[in-house]
Amino acid sequence: MTSSARPRSLNWAPVIATSLLLFLWLGYWYLDTFSSIVNLWDTSDTYAHGYAVLPIALWLIWSERKELSRHSPEPCHLLTLLTIPLVFLWLLGELAAVNAVTQPALGLIVIVTIVSLIGIPLAKRLAFPLFFLLFAIPFGEFMMPKLMNWTADFTVLALRVSGIPVYREGLQFVIPSGNWSVVEACSGIRYIIASLMVGTLFAYLNFTSTKRRLIFMLAALLVPIIANWLRAYLIVMLGHISGNKLAAGVDHLIYGWVFFGLVIGALFALSMRWAQVRPMATEADITNNTTPRSRQSSLALAKTAILLAAFVVIGPLTYRQFTVDVDTRPTRALQFSIPEFPTPNTKTFEFKPDWQNPSAEGNVQVEFEGLSLGLYIAQYKNQSPQRKLISSTNMLATYQNPDWRITSQSLGDIALGDNTLPVQIADLTQQTSGNPIKLKAIYWYLIGGEATASPVKGKLFTTRNQLLGQGDQGAVVVLYTPMDTTALERLTRFATANAEKIKKMANASGAP
């Protein structure tokens, strides 16, 4: 005699309730990090897709509800140990004020929390929805400068192959019909991230072979990069042929999205030729694969939840021991009043580096060797996501700067007597018609008395100093002068002659 009764399923209510409580617990301790993620969704078109990630992941889980209801969660308290290195990683990122570290670390903490509560067998079944949650984490901003350069390289090359003469200077180029520049929107980062997210979901839903899924995901990554290059070239050509009546204003963004939509649509349509039908589980399969309910499930769930709740607070509590209240006062003025410092002259041009919201700053032009030379210092103390020395938005001239553009930048060293000083060396051009001013600039960071031109080293120095109880004070020093054949040597001589005074000013307190 056989029985047609279905296997007894575990009541998921305790697991779901515990998960919700733990997520509220995480929300309380990591509120600033969660807020930084949502803020990027809200303020950046590049990451607006983040709002859709959680609903899609929940829908994917809901579509498996019948099969999941026949399996018992197996809470595993040993898996909670994985949260410890992730919490430490979050702590390092928080001390260095690096959202690109804290946000992924928190995303992985959330995933480890879920896996610990439901166990590895069920986590395998939900591997894709859990992986898909990572698309909610803003990423890819670091690729923007490289993508912009690639777009400019391809566009200029394609124009020359088309027989159009091009003069290029950094991300700007001139053709007979007008001037063009590659800006953030031209990087294609929006296309790439959107394509990769949608392509990953498409691959999961339409293929069962891991090989086919990976190939399609690779195509979803590469195709928009190439499509963006073609888009930029075609827009310039459209403007050139039409005498800049078409694609020279906001409409070129519309054309870009239409072209991108057609390319990605064609990619998806073509891929459907190799789509695979996902096999439907039979009643016998479901019965044979049912996980029996564990008698220790309630005890295991409680133990796992307690360990998770305890481990995740280690990072925020430790962070509080190393930090003081952030500096929220308005930017204060640095006084360039060290004896024997060259007398400031009348500014011959207006330039101010784009370091955002410093604790204190000063910008002065002096006469040196008969020419104007500028000195800019920005100090940062008690840093926060809103006020930090090193970030992707702090640079000599941002992409939104209406007056100046960076035409080239590289890492180098200048000689200071018997020592060398690592610096970033850059050329800038004023965004004006006629005869624009060109500048040569160098800059470096001073953190805890150590000089570096590397943002990564700067972050590491800041984190180390925080852990040693030395605070997070740091400054950036920028020297700039009109471009000529001896500009870099002139900046080097000025830095050598005034090294100690510059260092003192960088460490001085701003006016109250």
- Is the per-residue pLDDT at 18 higher than 90? yes
Phi, psi angles (nearest 5°) of residue 488: -65, -40
Element (H, E) at 376: strand 371-380
User: Higher pLDDT residue, 6 or 324?
Assistant: 324
pLDDT top residue among 257 and 499: 499
Same domain assignment for residues 218 and 359: no
Residue 218 is part of which domain span? 142-274
82 by Cβ neighbours in 10 Å (0-12 / 13-18 / 19+) ranks as middle
pLDDT at 12: 81
Among residues of the chain, what percentage have pLDDT more than 70?
Answer: 86
Question: How many alpha carbons lie under 13 Å from residue 304 in its C-beta half-sphere?
Answer: 29
Whether 347 and 496 share a structural domain: yes
Residues 131, 148 within the same domain: no
Between 290 and 219, the more confident residue is: 219
- What is the band of 512 on the pLDDT scale with cuts at 50, 70, 90? very low
pLDDT above 90 coverage of the chain, percent: 39
The string of DSSP codes covering 331-359 is PEEPP---TTPPPB---SS----B--S-S
Q: Does residue 347 lie in a domain region?
A: yes
In order, the DSSP letters of 121-147 are: HHHHHTHHHHHHGGGGS---GGGHHHH
Question: Quick one: 488 and 353 in the same domain?
Answer: yes
Specify if 2 maps to a domain.
no
Average pLDDT score over the chain: 84
Confidence class for position 251, pLDDT limits 50, 70, 90: low
**3-state DSSP: the chain helix, strand, coil percent, rounded to 5?**
50, 15, 30
| Confidence bin at 384 (pLDDT 50/70/90) | confident
Residues 110, 207 within the same domain: no
**In terms of domains, do 132 and 196 share one?**
no
For residues 383 and 461, is the Cβ–Cβ distance under 8 A? no
Q: At what angle do helices 99-118 and 13-29 cross, to 10 degrees?
A: 160
Same domain for 134 and 148, yes or no, is: no
Give tens-digit pLDDT for 467-496: 888 888 899 999 999 999 899 999 999 999
On whether both 432 and 487 belong to a single domain, the answer is yes
Mean pLDDT of 87-108: 91
- For 469-504, what is the HEC assignment? CCCCCEEEEEEEEECCCCHHHHHHHHHHHCHHHHHH
pLDDT of residue 168: 86
In the chain the first and final C-alpha atoms are separated, in Å, by 90
Number of domains observed in the structure of the chain = 3
| 439 and 348 fall within a common domain | yes
Residue 27 CB-half CA count within 13 A = 7
pLDDT value at position 279?
A: 61
As given in the structure block, the two tokens for residue 229 are: 């290059």
Residue 8 pLDDT grade (very low, low, confident, very high; cuts 50, 70, 90): very low
Average pLDDT of the residues in 400-429:
87
More confident: 132 or 511: 132
pLDDT value at residue 346 = 56
Residue 86 lies in a domain: yes
- Greater pLDDT, 39 or 242: 39
Task: For residue 290, tell me if it sits in a domain.
Answer: no
Q: What is the pLDDT of residues 157-190, one digit of tens each?
A: 999 999 999 988 778 888 888 888 887 767 778 8
Tell me, yes or no, whether 450 lies in a domain: yes
pLDDT, one tens digit per residue, over 305-340 is 999 999 999 999 998 887 766 666 777 877 765 555
> What's the pLDDT score for residue 488?
93
Are residues 307 and 421 part of one domain? no
> What pLDDT, on the 0 to 100 scale, is given for residue 449?
81
pLDDT for the residue 355: 94
pTM, two decimal places: 0.80
Q: How confident is the model at residue 272 (pLDDT cuts 50, 70, 90)?
A: confident
d(CA 377, CA 478) in angstroms, rounded, equals 6
Residue 151 lies in a domain: yes
User: Three-class SS of residue 382?
Assistant: coil
Residues 85 and 172 in one domain: no
DSSP-derived letter for residue 395 is B
- Give the pLDDT of residue 325: 64
172 and 212 fall within a common domain: yes
* Within-domain flag for 7: no
Does the residue 282 lie in any domain? no
